[in-house]
Amino acid sequence: MFDPVEKLKEFVRHESVSTDPTYAAGMVGAKEFVANLLGSIGFEVEVVKTDLHPLILASRGGDSSWPHVIIYGHYDVQPADPLELWDTPPFEPEIRDGRIYGRGTADNKGPLMTHIAAVGSLLEKEPNLPLRITFMLEGEEEMGSPSFPKFLAQYKERLSEADLVFLSDTGIPSEDQVVITCGLRGVVLCEVQVTGSKRDLHSGLHGGVLRNPIQAVTELCASLHKPNGWVDIPGFYDDVLDVEQWEKDELKKLEGGAEAYRKFLGIAKFHTAEGFDPFEAIRFMPTLEFNGIGGGYQGAGSKTVIPSKAMVKISCRLVANQNPEKIRQLLHQTIRDRMPDDVTYEIIDDHSGVPYVVVPPDRTNTPADQSAVLADAFRAADAAVNDVFGKPPLYLREGGSVPIIADIKKVLGLDSVMFGLFLPEDNLHAPNESFKLSVMERGMQVCEQVLRRLANR
Ligand code: BES
Ligand code: MN
């Protein structure tokens, strides 16, 4: 068996930033690296071309009576900027204090390596394990998986005969409390560009006769929340469902507490949607956030100008049963209704993702037709976490999004068992991203056990 940490270092050295074309070589390198690694542990590897970054399908076949698990992961990473805030270069992995540092170490190369290493070591010990495994790895997750729906449609027949998807692309509150994620938020993204005058104007010569586009943008932004923290878009919450009691009870078992979380964030106080504590707000409520705002002079000193243009980037996180395209239309309508008629504007839509929930077996709302293999996979994960971490997992929804998980459910009919592996201090998408090696080590043991238990169900 290969050394998982050494292999992870090699993986991280491939600069696989999917959104930025200047990193094309890193994308190719990372793809070839994983394809070769999967080949080296006996998988039949197929590289599936797309319009952008290829997918990797790697399979270990077997008897059609054996359970079939798809392991999902992504080999692309977020951009590394701002580079000056990294203590060591993002694509030169370094181990310090039991952590491996580098872009993508946690999201998602470390967790993916955890699964690959677990499979490699398990099959080495049990070459005849009665389990079919397909790795399904993409290179576009961090840019909204534009090629994934087409791929799913093309491979539908072959993939839908699997039993479930198993992945680690979600978080855990601490190493003492592992989580099996049973919900992901959806997402809707757009940008609003507002234009006032046709060019920048002297604010003395012309100030007082026109609306400044920065004012139009900020007034729009200010109108999108109520003082009580709820989003102020008519109809925004119409499709949000009540959460089952077992989920609320499960959340109460979360240790650590709000005060520790407040300090971790470094904020003076929480500002949640009224009626929800911070932990509920993340999991049970949709949001509207401003991700970027701009316009006018940003340089040193001052400049007396009325800028011609201003912009804001907006994203909404959605919860189960909300429809991204419906929310997009409501957002558009609200912008149309509230934008003054003395500026012009354009809404530039970006991608969206459907929210997802999966209910573990033996809950009040477990679907009656839940497959026995899926139910057993949850039980296997529960037992494995209990054994390796000495404590059963919690079953919680996550605030983040992995939009293709809902697409997989819709197109292939498959649910996902999501074994969380990132810690809050891993700095996903931020400078000094890292992944804790003890989590990786124990994660491997859990993955191995889950697959073994599934094979012997
Ligand atoms: N792995 C993350 C999602 C995630 C992060 C889940 C933290 C749980 C905790 C994934 O790679 C990601 O960043 N997704 C994006 C999706 C977006 C680009 C549509 C996200 O959540 O912002
Ligand atoms: Mn990820």
131 and 173 within one domain: yes
Ligand nearest to the backbone CA of 423: 1
> How far is 165 from 162, CA to CA, in rounded Å?
8
What is the full DSSP assignment across 16-75? -BTT-GGGHHHHHHHHHHHHHHHHHTT-EEEEE--SSSPEEEEEE---TTS-EEEEEEE-
SS3 label, residue 309: strand
Q: Please indicate, yes or no, if residue 295 is contained in any of the structural domains.
A: yes
pLDDT tier for residue 229 given thresholds of 50, 70 and 90: very high
One domain for residues 446 and 430: yes
CA distances (Å), origin 404, targets 203, 241, 356, 415: 48, 22, 9, 11
Q: Are residue 298 and residue 233 in the same domain, yes or no?
A: yes
- My answer on whether 63 and 158 are in the same domain is yes
* Residue 262 located in a structural domain: no
157 and 201 in a single domain? The answer is no
Give the residue, by CA position, lying nearest to ligand 1 atom 1.
169
- Cβ of residue 170 lying under 6 Å from some atom of ligand 1: yes
| 419 and 304 in a common domain | no
Whether 433 lines ligand 1, by a CB cut-off of 6 Å, is no
Domain boundary among 353, 369, 403: 353
Range of the domain at 441: 4-184+355-455
pLDDT of residue 254: 87
What is the total count of domains within the chain? 2
- Residue 416 belongs to a domain: yes
Cβ(400) to ligand 1 under 6 A? yes
Same domain flag for 43 and 60: yes
* Stretch 50-60: mean pLDDT: 98
- Decide if 276 is inside a domain: no
Q: Which of 168, 169, 419, 422 to mutate to test the pocket of ligand 1 (most atoms within 8 A of CB)?
A: 169
Has residue 109 been placed in a domain?
A: yes
CATH value at residue 372: 3.40.630.10
Instruction: Provide the phi-psi class of 413: left if phi over 0, else alpha when psi is between -120 and 50, else beta.
Output: left
Q: How far is the CA of 5 from the centre of ligand 2 (A)?
A: 19
Ligand 2 centroid to Cα of residue 169, in Å, is 5
Clarify whether residues 307 and 377 are in a common domain.
no
Start-to-end C-alpha separation, the chain:
26
Whether 402 is in the pocket of ligand 1, judged by its Cβ within 6 Å, is: yes
**19 and 99 part of one domain:** yes
List pLDDT tens digits, range 233-249.
999 999 999 999 999 99
Pick from 109, 402, 421 the residue to mutate for probing ligand 1's pocket: most ligand atoms within 8 Å of its CB.
402
Q: Could you tell me if residue 11 is inside a domain?
A: yes
Q: Do 94 and 206 reside in the same domain of the chain?
A: no
**pLDDT tens digits, one per residue of 266-289:** 999 999 999 999 999 999 999 999
Residue 96 and residue 192 share a domain:
no
- Is 144 a pocket residue for ligand 1 (Cβ < 6 Å)? yes
Distance 377 CA to ligand 2 centre (A): 22
With a 6 Å cutoff on the Cβ, whether 152 touches ligand 1 is no
pTM: 0.95
Task: Flag whether pLDDT at 257 surpasses 90.
Answer: no
The pLDDT value given to residue 256: 78
Q: Which ligand is nearest to the CA of 74?
A: 2
Q: Domain containing 205 — which CATH number?
A: 3.30.70.360
Tell which residue, 116, 337, 307, 344, has the closest CA to residue 232: 337
In a domain, 328, yes or no: yes
3-state secondary structure (DSSP) of residue 306: strand
pLDDT tens figures, 345-401: 999 999 999 999 999 999 999 999 999 999 999 999 999 999 999 999 999 999 999
Q: 401 CB under 6 A from ligand 1?
A: yes
Residue 22 resides in a domain = yes
Residue 255 has pLDDT above 80, yes or no: no
Q: Is 384 helix (H, G, I), strand (E, B) or coil?
A: helix
Specify whether 89 is located in the same domain as 209. no
